[in-house]
Amino acid sequence: MKITSLVFLAAMLCATSVLAQELTITTNKKGKVGFVDQSGKTIVKCQYDSALPFTNGISIVTKSGKQGMIDESGRTLIKPTYKEIKPWGNDLYWLNNGKKQGLADRNGKIVLKLNYTHISAPNCYGKAWISSGGKAKKNFEKTYMKGAKLGIIDKTGKVLVTPKYAGLYEFSRERDKEPFHEGLWLEEKYMYIEDTLQTDCAYLGFSKKDKEVFKAGLMDDLGKEIIKPGTYTYIAKPVNDMARFFYHKKGTHYGYFNVRTGKQIEIGKSDFALSEISWFLHGDFHGDLALAKGNTWAFIDRNGKAVRSGYKEFKCDKSTGYWVGKNDKGIFEVYNRKCEPVPALDGAEDIAFPATKEDKEVFGVKRNGKYGIIDRSGKELLPFEYDFISANTLDFMIVAKNGECGLFHPIDGMVVPIRYTQIITPVERNTKHFWVRQSDSLYYHYNSETKEQGSKGYKYITTNFKDGIALALPAQFRMEDTPINRAQLYEPNTKENIRAIDPAKDINVFGYIINTEDKELFDLPVSVLYTPLVLEEINKLGKKELTPSDKKSILLLVTRPNRSYNLNSVISESEWNY
């Protein structure tokens, strides 16, 4: 390496070292502020009325009531001429001149001209909404821009949707009830200035007038208008380029709009109004197929042609993506997204699918009147000799045979033997602790790691083991009607009249706090709502063993915001904390 290169490199390292030093705010005798380095050397002269600490090499400074930006060398990036400046996103800064708003980069270059009455903060997808015109109005103590035109920008400040729409709507409303059944639908709401967008804005609804979501058109993420306003009453977010729709015209018409080709496919019509329809009509496209209901269920392609039909019942399993149909003989037919049969599951009398996508793909399947467990390839994990098998939930499946049940794990096998009358479904993946019920109708803790069952039986199991804790009540427990117990039925500081309720009617929400070592950490009734508060107080005490007085004091403390007493009443001994 040449000596000149070494000198240049050394100089660069020194400069970097200086700039990387932590600068602190200093004030002169006149009250002006600037910055000094760690040695006390002045880097930025005391000339500002105030300044914010440097963040990412930028400080926002104020002079004569106006704000600007400087870098760590004191170089002015934006002159102090703005009413307000604040960071926006990762690399930009929001500017407000008192009338309009815009954006600048970290070098002070304007990337979005100050032409807007509001610019929201960017959401996690890097999208923000902007408004042109309008006046700030209050609604439920929140501010929105009444009469404004709305648009969308990205995280670089690029305008994606020109602010010319009085109504701009996101696909953020879930309506999984019939006849909508699935998908995301347009949501009409006020755009408060504190709000950010909720979605990636891949598609948006729009209208020329405010609050016309039922007449909204459809646009893409670049603002291209795809469907004109007023065409449909409801539009669902396009899935695989196909947008489901409903519209009213002497009944309810339904079908699909292909956002790529602009072609409409009307599937059917109901004589009922949409609000009166209580059955599923059509679903989103999964791959090149969708499920629609006419006289019977049918698979349709993108042209609306029936590919497979004649089913009494049908659904798309969300955990696997499989199509599941029941024919007129009561036999299930299962297809993948390409409408190809799944041989391992095809022809079953019943199928229990995994509860979620995170659960292993093993299935409880009924053939010839008996259940077994198979994997996706059809390999038997349990033979077909059981009376019932539940869905795989957190990788646990309840299996029943001859009136008794056990618990199966796809990897570990039978973790709880088949000898109990009931097993409460676990709420934790990979847990080793379960509640099982014996013929005496009491529940016992079963540890699958030690293969041991606890000796004490409980009548009520309020919560299963989670994080090493469960709630349960013993067989002889009697719920007392006390202010402490009544208070635990509501969140603290409730406005409800807790004197008018009876805890005995809600005994199923109370329990003793029990750990996985079968120790009753707290043998007074605690509700599900108050368990975290009680555990917090137990940890604060830090005792291995709580005295009766400790437990009483804890309950009195956590229920204090909800307890009240009639001044003419006599407070019982249990309500006093000495």
* Structure confidence by residue, pLDDT tens digits, 457-475: 999 999 999 999 999 999 8
DSSP 425: P
Of 11-20, 203-212, 406-415, the one with minimum mean pLDDT is 11-20
Task: Give the contacts of 373 (CB within 8 A, at least 6 positions apart).
Answer: 362, 363, 364, 365, 380, 381, 382, 389, 397, 399, 408, 410
pLDDT at 20 over 80: no
Of 325, 330, 385, 321, residue with least CA distance to 354: 321
Mean pLDDT along residues 143-171: 96
DSSP 158: -
Of 193, 183, 182, 242, residue with least CA distance to 218: 242
Cβ(256)–Cβ(264) below 8 Å:
yes
Q: What's the token pair of residue 57? A: 């090499």
Q: Are strands 203-207 and 167-174 parallel, antiparallel or unpaired?
A: antiparallel
Of 475, 469, 507, residue with least CA distance to 488: 507
Of 174, 228, 175, 236, residue with least CA distance to 202: 236
Mean pLDDT along residues 567-572: 60
What pLDDT score was predicted for residue 94? 98
Task: Identify the three-state secondary structure at position 553.
Answer: helix
What pLDDT score was predicted for residue 69? 97
What pLDDT score was predicted for residue 19? 44
The pLDDT tens digits for 172-202 are 999 878 888 888 999 999 899 999 999 999 9
**Structure confidence at residue 406 as a pLDDT band (50, 70, 90):** very high
What pLDDT score was predicted for residue 168? 96
Where are any strands of DSSP class E within 303-357? 306-311, 313-316, 323-326, 332-335, 350-352
CA atoms within 13 A on the CB side of 20: 6
More confident residue, 213 or 291: 213
Of 518, 515, 548, 547, residue with least CA distance to 531: 515
Average pLDDT, the chain: 90
Secondary structure (DSSP) of 21-54: SPPEEEE-TTS-EEEE-TT--EEEEEEESEEPPP
pLDDT at 101 over 50: yes
Q: How far is residue 468's CA from residue 300's CA, in Å, rounded to a whole number?
A: 50
Percent of the residues in the chain that have a pLDDT greater than 90, as a whole number: 72
User: How many beta carbons lie within 10 A of that of residue 294, not counting itself?
Assistant: 13
Dihedral pair phi/psi, residue 503, rounded to 5° = -60, -30
Task: Identify the three-state secondary structure at position 350.
Answer: strand
pLDDT at 118 over 70: yes
More confident residue, 578 or 252: 252
The pLDDT tens digits for 426-454 are 999 999 999 999 999 999 999 999 999 99
The angle formed by the CA atoms of residues 71, 77 and 81, to the nearest 5 degrees, is 125
What pLDDT score was predicted for residue 162? 97
Strand partners, 225: 219
What pLDDT score was predicted for residue 176? 76
Percent of the residues in the chain that have a pLDDT greater than 70, as a whole number: 93
**Structure confidence at residue 165 as a pLDDT band (50, 70, 90):** very high
What pLDDT score was predicted for residue 8? 40
Mean pLDDT along residues 473-485: 90
**Structure confidence at residue 535 as a pLDDT band (50, 70, 90):** very high
- Say what the pTM is: 0.65
CA dihedral 543, 548, 549, 550 (to 10 degrees): 30
**Structure confidence at residue 565 as a pLDDT band (50, 70, 90):** low
Question: What is the residue whose two structure tokens read 């909204």?
Answer: 216
Percent composition of the chain: helix, strand, coil (DSSP 3-state, to 5): 10, 45, 45
Q: How far is residue 468's CA from residue 462's CA, in Å, rounded to a whole number?
A: 14
**Structure confidence at residue 137 as a pLDDT band (50, 70, 90):** very high
One-letter-per-residue 3-state SS of 173-211: EECCCCCCCCCEEEECCCCECCCCCCCCCCEEEEECCCC
pLDDT at 13 over 70: no
User: How many beta carbons lie within 10 A of that of residue 567, not counting itself?
Assistant: 4
**Structure confidence at residue 566 as a pLDDT band (50, 70, 90):** low
Mean pLDDT along residues 51-59: 94
Residue 170: is it exposed, middle or buried by C-beta count within 10 angstroms (0-12/13-18/19+)?
buried
Residue 518: is it exposed, middle or buried by C-beta count within 10 angstroms (0-12/13-18/19+)?
middle
Mean pLDDT along residues 123-140: 94
Omega within 30 of 0 (cis) for the link into 179? yes
> What is the radius of gyration, based on Cα positions, of the chain?
33
Dihedral pair phi/psi, residue 399, rounded to 5° = -120, 140
What's the sign of the alpha-carbon dihedral 527, 530, 536, 537?
negative
pLDDT at 54 over 60: yes
Q: How far is residue 446's CA from residue 29's CA, in Å, rounded to a whole number?
A: 74
pLDDT at 495 over 80: no
